[in-house]
């Protein structure tokens, strides 16, 4: 049942796969946090990229080489052997092979702004559902990997408007919302943009201990209730989806009337805030990274990748998407449909260009772990930033995703459409595969 296609490894310095002529016009990098050239990671500028050939196959097109980047800034110092792209790719496949292998998955790896390896293994749809191979361009609901996409958009808008991430959010919430402690303009301990980005807003504590008779949801109405009741921000990061649902509301408003991230704030409602969020991300994040239009649904359900219960394929697959009225809850915490290739394009443009964020904003995002897993870049994970996504649907049908930036100028993404050997540890799988290849 499981088909393995030949892994596409690149080897040509003349094809910067994600150098869309305009985005790389101001290319910076390799100089994102934790970046370095081949060999032990040092604080000195890396040598030119290793020679890698053009990636081939129907999913990849050769694109022009970006101009030579300036020397990078300070780097995370970690001494380790050179990690070769082919060895990294092989290690990913090895860790997902054998007993417990997923129904289908795809990954993509970039280094120094170039695609150096990608592959799809297994099925996006099994034979009973109209067989489709899983490929690096297969799009599926990426669950919480939606969060770093919104984090990029929010920080981009704040930079455009000259607003600090430590600014209280009260003035940027819908005007007609009632606002309690933390959200009111006169709050002694106000909720800031940083609190939402780092899950330190106190929302989890509120949702875990709601007032009698109150039921919260990750919807417009749910956010109105949270703002009205109020929270006490600060303390350690305590993960809760609602932080990024609130960010979806704020992006819809801060995007402005013209949806450019400038000018008068927009008036938003339950339906309009999500559509404005999606429009802003498509125009100012995805398009700039060379990613085609993104939605929270499939335009072709008959051929869309499905999620499966690996241990009970007889129940068939399911297309995960926002439908009907649920489309007004698109994005923020979950929902976006992206492929492995899409995800590394965003990560590469974030880390190696100023198309998505200015250098100060990018450095702040990495240093503050804004939109990244709270365990990033510390302990045994120095020089590594990541965010995973996990979804569990009827009949034990699963989806698991991850996007990460690693040392030696690597970015990597994976999307998996069923259970796999490490449960929800797909980000750990990618990081362990990197270590395997060192």
pLDDT higher than threshold 50 for residue 126: yes
How confident is the model over 392-418, as pLDDT tens digits?
Answer: 998 899 999 999 999 999 999 999 999
Identify the weakest region by mean pLDDT among 41-55, 79-93, 182-196.
Answer: 41-55
Which tops the pLDDT comparison, 49 or 126? 126
Q: What are the angstrom distances between the C-alpha of 110 and each of 17, 343, 361, 381, 413?
A: 9, 11, 22, 19, 9
Enter the DSSP assignment of 328.
G
| Residue 76: predicted pLDDT | 53
| Residue 8: predicted pLDDT | 52
For the segment 320-335, the average pLDDT, to the nearest whole number, is 91
| Residue 18: predicted pLDDT | 54
| Residue 317: predicted pLDDT | 97
CB atoms within 10 A of CB 74: 9
For residues 132 and 319, the answer to whether their CB atoms sit within 8 Å is no
Peptide bond into 33 cis (omega under 30): no
| Residue 131: predicted pLDDT | 97
- Within a 13 Å sphere around the CA of 221, how many CA atoms are in the beta-carbon half? 5
| Residue 291: predicted pLDDT | 98
For the segment 102-123, the average pLDDT, to the nearest whole number, is 98
Which tops the pLDDT comparison, 7 or 260? 260
Enter the DSSP assignment of 189.
S
Which tops the pLDDT comparison, 185 or 214? 185
CA-based nearest residue to 148, from 385, 422, 408, 409: 385
DSSP 87-142: HHHHHHHHHT-STT--SEEEEEEEETTEEEEEEEEEEEE-GGG--EE--TT--EE-
- What's the pTM? 0.86
How confident is the model over 328-382, as pLDDT tens digits?
Answer: 899 999 999 999 999 999 999 999 999 999 999 999 999 999 999 999 999 989 9
| Residues 6 or more apart whose Cβ sits within 8 Å of residue 380 | none
| Residues 6 or more apart whose Cβ sits within 8 Å of residue 190 | 168, 169, 170, 182, 183, 233
**Beta-strand (E) ranges in 140-225?**
140-141
For residues 140 and 307, the answer to whether their CB atoms sit within 8 Å is yes
């Amino acid at each position: 049942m499981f088909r393995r296609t030949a892994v596409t490894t690149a080897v040509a310095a003349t094809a910067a796969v994600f150098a869309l002529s305009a985005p790389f016009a101001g290319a910076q990098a390799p100089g994102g946090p934790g970046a370095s050239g081949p060999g032990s990671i040092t604080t000195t500028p890396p040598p030119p990229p290793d020679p890698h050939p053009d990636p081939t196959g129907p999913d990849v097109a050769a694109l022009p080489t970006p101009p030579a980047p300036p020397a990078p800034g300070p780097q995370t110092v970690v001494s380790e052997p050179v990690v070769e792209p082919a060895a990294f790719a092989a290690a990913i496949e090895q860790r997902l092979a054998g007993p417990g292998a997923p129904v289908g998955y795809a990954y993509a790896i970039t280094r120094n702004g170039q695609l150096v390896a990608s592959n799809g293994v297994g099925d996006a749809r099994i034979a009973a559902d109209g067989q489709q191979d899983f490929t690096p361009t297969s799009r599926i609901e990426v669950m919480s990997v939606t969060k770093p996409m919104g984090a990029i958009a929010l920080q981009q808008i704040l930079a455009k408007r000259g607003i600090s991430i430590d600014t209280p959010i009260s003035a940027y919430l819908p005007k007609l919302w009632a606002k309690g402690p933390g959200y009111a303009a006169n709050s002694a301990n106000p909720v800031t943009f940083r609190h939402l980005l780092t899950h330190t807003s106190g929302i989890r504590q509120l949702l875990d201990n709601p007032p009698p008779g109150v039921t919260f949801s990750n919807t417009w109405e749910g956010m109105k209730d949270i703002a009205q009741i109020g929270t006490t921000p600060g303390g350690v990061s305590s993960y809760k989806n609602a932080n990024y649902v609130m960010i979806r509301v704020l992006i819809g408003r801060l995007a402005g009337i013209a949806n450019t991230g400038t000018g008068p704030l927009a008036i938003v409602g339950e339906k309009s805030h999500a559509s404005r969020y999606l429009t802003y991300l498509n125009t100012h994040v995805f398009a700039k990274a060379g990613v085609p239009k993104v939605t929270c649904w499939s335009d072709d359900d008959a051929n869309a990748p499905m999620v499966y219960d690996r241990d009970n394929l007889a129940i068939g697959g399911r297309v995960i998407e926002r439908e009907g009225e649920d489309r007004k809850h698109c994005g923020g915490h979950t929902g976006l449909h992206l492929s492995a290739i899409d995800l590394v394009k965003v990560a590469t443009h974030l880390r190696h260009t100023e198309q998505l964020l200015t250098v100060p904003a990018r450095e702040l995002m990495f240093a503050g772990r804004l939109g990244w897993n709270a365990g990033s870049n510390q302990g045994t994970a120095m020089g590594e930033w990541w965010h995973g996504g996990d979804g569990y649907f009827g009949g034990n049908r699963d989806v698991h995703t991850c996007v990460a930036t690693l040392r030696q100028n690597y970015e990597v993404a994976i999307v998996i459409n069923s259970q796999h050997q490490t449960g929800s540890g797909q980000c750990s799988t990618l990081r362990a595969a990197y270590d395997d290849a060192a």
